[in-house]
Structure 1
Amino acid sequence: MAETSGRLSGPVEIVGTGLIGTSIALACRRAGLEVLLTDTDPDHVRTASGLGAGRPRTPDDVPQLVVVAVPPDALGAAITATLDAAGPDTVVTDVGSVKAAPLAAVAGHPAVSRYVGSHPMAGTEHSGPLSASAALFDGRPWAVTPGPEATPAAARLVEALVVLCGAVPVPLSPAEHDRAVARTSHVPHLMASLVAGTLAGASADHLALSGTGVRDVTRVAGGDPRLYSQIIGGNAGAVAALLTEVRQRLDLAIEAVSGDDRAGLESLLAYGQAGTRAIPGKHGTAPQPMEAVRVSVPDHPGELARLFADAGASGVNIEDVRIDHDPGRPVGLVELDVVAARAEELRVALESNGWTTHR
């Protein structure tokens, strides 16, 4: 049987042809697998098919693996319906952002041993099949979360999908996964939304002072409220526990600020600084001290390309880039994050090419 080998040969069915589902379909097609498409919206299936992501499923098709990629509130019912209709050897996974709730929804199902949850840590601010890309998952972590009744063969097949899509499988239990995403995604999203909410009624004079800091802190708050309310609501227990910790530290911050307790405030800020240092570096390596090299860039076509070309010629690797715009002049301030030990080398190289840097 195909399932017992752990080798993914197809067909792969995608249930839900939005951004994630269609991207998985495109990655499978890139690898030469047959892909079957299912969606409650026939326009999405037509669009995904037109992009080369696969073909509509027919009643005679028997997929080896089904990927359920529907909104969080619909996951439990969709997984159950898929297991009900699946062949005796078909493995089912889902790509939802929460893992304990879908597993609980199918507990006791006679085919639960062939269900293995998963969650790719990838996406964009866009949605729908037209935003999909076969390269969306390249190099990204992808949690694989088998429940206690899942067979090893089913888990291996889902891991094979992850590798085929170019991602890195990260094995976790469903509960561990939910605690992890509460800490690294769900609570940060809520905090960003709370901070962004203080800007909604602000005067134009106040907002004119906005810089990269407020944009960095609030960026993820621009996500779809309907989607994120489902995601966060589906992980209520883990999120509420972390919010309680945050509330305790917020109370300490209020006391320190209102009581002019500089030592207490510095302690809270140092604790936050330690948290930023705990975030892994790129490719999962240990974090390195970084420094931003700030460069003034005229807001004209071709200037960014020229800056990146000069930075590349310096031999210093750029780890990250941010751009802020001068509200009074057609100039941008570009921050090039590099390993701290090589920041001065980059500054000297750029200045020798006529760029203005700021320390």
Structure 2
Amino acid sequence: MKTALAQVSLSALQHNLAQVKQMAPESQVMAVCKANGYGHGLIEVAQALNKADAFGVARIEEAFNLRAAGINKTIVLLEGFFEAKDIASIAVNHFQTVIHNEKQLAELEQAATELEIGIPIKVWLKIDTGMSRLGIHVSQVDEFVSRLQACACVHPDLVLMTHLACADELNNKYNQTQLMAFKQASSAYSFSHSIANSAATMVLDRAKQNWVRPGIMLYGVSPIEGETGLERNLKPVMTLSSQLISVKKVDANTPVGYGGTWVTPSKTILGVVAIGYGDGYPRHAKNGTPVLINGRIVPLVGRVSMDMITVDLGCDSQDNIGDKAVLWGAGLPIEKVAESAETIAYEILCQLTTRVKWKYI
């Protein structure tokens, strides 16, 4: 009997990349595959997305793993480097790096005097236009550009970038505030620009500059609140499934699970699925969270356990032990599961554990 299985469709990944290119036909595409390819497998994702123009990662270890796997495309460190000693490795491996603070800039300048770097490092200068996370203040742009172009180990052709805080909220006026701030900060330069994440790629034409940086949409998930990826012609890449390991008839007023937090309102048939928070299924999934069994949606009932969940199959159920249960993916959008667990699809995808078996098709 098979238990937790994550099946990853590489053709769905490629389909979703093609959708990005249709949405932003004038832009180059940086496929963001940080956090182990949003939980889908870093190397497998990058190999499948070989028509992307670059890959974006958060940690230099992820970049090393891509190079070791023979990925020769542009790799951008989206958070930059954390230690000065990484600069030499960035140069040797032809990585590109984001610069978002004074410390990183000073360390690049110091490296220029101490290291022999044959090929200058390509730098993406991040400007904080209102996210208040990473990035230099708009008033610092001229100084940073001047110093970077004077730095011997930096390629003179920079990329200017920013990140939108509310792109996933349709008609949020703050998006226009940030776009205007970026335009004012960057208009004096002829460098390439990059603004759009997945949400902006979908809905904000002004954000589709020289580069777009899709992440979650590549994996078939819409970042727009209230939507699923299917509504944007995206295909779910991961389908997580397991099987029924118990089917039993119970009477009305039967408490279910730890604490008896759910009680059967009438006679019914309960099923137990071999999946739990030990596999990465969200523990805080509420009663009613959808599970797909034999072509129909049935509700999760009772608390999620480490290894099991219970579902209400209904009094007329014909389901049997061994039947497949889909927790999300084909036939059941992960956005619906995330909503019931009061979280986001990003988190659910990234938290699967090593107990889950993987299959790439």
The TM-score, its normalising length taken from structure 1, stands at 0.29
The TM-score, its normalising length taken from structure 2, stands at 0.29
**Greater percentage in strand:** 2
**Greater percentage in helix:** 1
